[in-house]
Structure 1
Amino acid sequence: MREIDKLKAGLEYCFDDEEVMDLKLNAVKNCEIYNNIDVCDRQAKYDFLKEMLGSIGENTCIEQGFYCDNGKNIHVGDNFLANYQVTILDVNEVYIGNDVMIGPKTTITTVGHPINPNKRRQRLGQASKVRIGNDVWIGANVCILPGVTIGNNVIIGAGAVVNRDIPDNSMAVGVPARVIKEIEKVI
């Protein structure tokens, strides 16, 4: 089995394999192009995102300083805003719903590495999907880890590290993030 096939199957894969690295290098090039589009030309930015990402909804805005590992594994809904310096390590799929706002310097990562140092020396990674529901506000400097699902109508406080699922209608904060209160349901 090729390393790229292992990656897509959610198995451990060698992240410095040539095919795997080609995906990342393509994403790095696309991010460089995107980040150099005139900040005032929202249409050009949107049009480039339509080509770069897996899918995007209407009224999508990702500010400068955006980085990703693939691009085609990112799927965002309508009315999406990612503030400055957001990184999405989309080795696996990242699904983001409608009406989502992400604060600056936030990282969403689908990839992790083995606990065993011998496996890390082999340059192995493993990726799991991340899902973010509708009507979600993610504060600044949040880190969302592989395999996490964030429900609908959720607020994640600034600086949180989300290492487990967060249910609908919740506010979660801290390291690791924990639900501190239920919030009003969306009508």
Structure 2
Amino acid sequence: MASDWDKVLAGGALDSQSEEIANDRIRGQALLSRLNASPAGDHVLRQQICRDLFAHCPDSCWISTPFTCEFGRNIHIGEKTFFNFNVTILDVGEVHIGNHVLLAPNVQIYTATHTMDYLERRNWTAYNKPVRIGDDCWIGGGAIICPGVTIGPRSIIGAGAVVTRDIPADSLAVGNPARVIRTLQPGETRDQACLS
């Protein structure tokens, strides 16, 4: 028989009354509290908490605190990825963040979504749409990544952008809603990217 998480990750509704999901939320929030309270210089402790909190988080990652997530169990982080302060991930669905990704302060990543039917929303029913961020991406400060979005490898999302649609590889996307303004070229400098 499928677990409640199997149903949710297959596109079914999140049952907020599910004992399995409630226990995972409590577990995730307890680990999150430990991470946010841990000394910045205690790398061994912080790495252990991250290994327990996330589905995958190599020791080469750096998670600056404060950090916020809902469960943690649905977050997969690649090698040498950096989260700056105040990153928020609502991980009702899976979030896959590639290798060498930079998340600037106040980046928000959402997988939870709700129905248009107000009667169903009264029960806090949530669904998920997974988010994927490819290798070598840079997500600028305050950017919002909406449910179901895939950002291709080596792309840059400008500060404050609201990403509602997929972004192809090697793209510079800015604005609300985010739109691709040009294709990035290998070897460009910071000045050429006009993002200093």
Q: Match of 2:159, as an amino acid?
A: A
1:122-141: CA deviations, max 9, x gaps?
Answer: 22100011110011000111
RMSD between superposed Cα atoms in Å? 1.7
The residue aligned with 2:191 is none
Cα displacement (A) at 1:9:
2.0
Q: Match of 1:32, as an amino acid?
A: S
Q: Match of 2:47, as an amino acid?
A: Y
The residue aligned with 1:144 is 145
Cα displacement (A) at 1:4:
4.3
Cα displacement (A) at 1:156:
0.4
Contact 1:16 1:123 in 2 (8 A): no
- Write the distance in 2 (CA, Å) between the matches of 1:16 and 1:139: 36
1:93-119: CA deviations, max 9, x gaps?
Answer: 111111100011111111111111011
User: Runs of 5+ in structure 1 lacking a partner?
Assistant: none
- Write the distance in 1 (CA, Å) between the matches of 2:165 and 2:124: 25
Q: Match of 1:91, as an amino acid?
A: V
> Aligned in 2, Cα 1:31/1:183: closer, same or farther, shift over 3 Å?
same
The residue aligned with 2:58 is 57
Contact 1:85 1:104 in 2 (8 A): yes
Q: Does 1:170 align with 2:171?
A: yes
How many residues were matched structurally? 186
The residue aligned with 2:183 is 182
Q: Does 1:102 align with 2:103?
A: yes
Superposed, which structure 2 residues align to 1:1-187 within 5 Å?
4-185=5-186
Task: Identify which range, 35-44 or 153-162, moves more after superposition.
Answer: 35-44
Cα displacement (A) at 1:17:
3.7
User: Runs of 5+ in structure 2 lacking a partner?
Assistant: 188-196
1:135-163: CA deviations, max 9, x gaps?
Answer: 10001111111111000000001111111
Cα displacement (A) at 1:6:
3.1
- Write the distance in 2 (CA, Å) between the matches of 1:21 and 1:114: 21
User: What percentage of residue pairs aligned between the two structures are identical?
Assistant: 38
1:65-102: CA deviations, max 9, x gaps?
Answer: 11112112111111110001111111111111111000
TM-score, normalisation: structure 2: 0.88
TM-score, normalisation: structure 1: 0.92
- Write the distance in 1 (CA, Å) between the matches of 2:171 and 2:64: 26
Task: Identify which range, 45-54 or 31-40, moves more after superposition.
Answer: 45-54
Contact 2:31 2:52 in 1 (8 A): no
- Write the distance in 1 (CA, Å) between the matches of 2:186 and 2:16: 41
Q: Match of 1:50, as an amino acid?
A: R
Cα displacement (A) at 1:5:
4.5
- Write the distance in 2 (CA, Å) between the matches of 1:59 and 1:2: 32
Contact 1:102 1:140 in 2 (8 A): yes
Cα displacement (A) at 1:21:
2.4
- Write the distance in 1 (CA, Å) between the matches of 2:37 and 2:59: 22
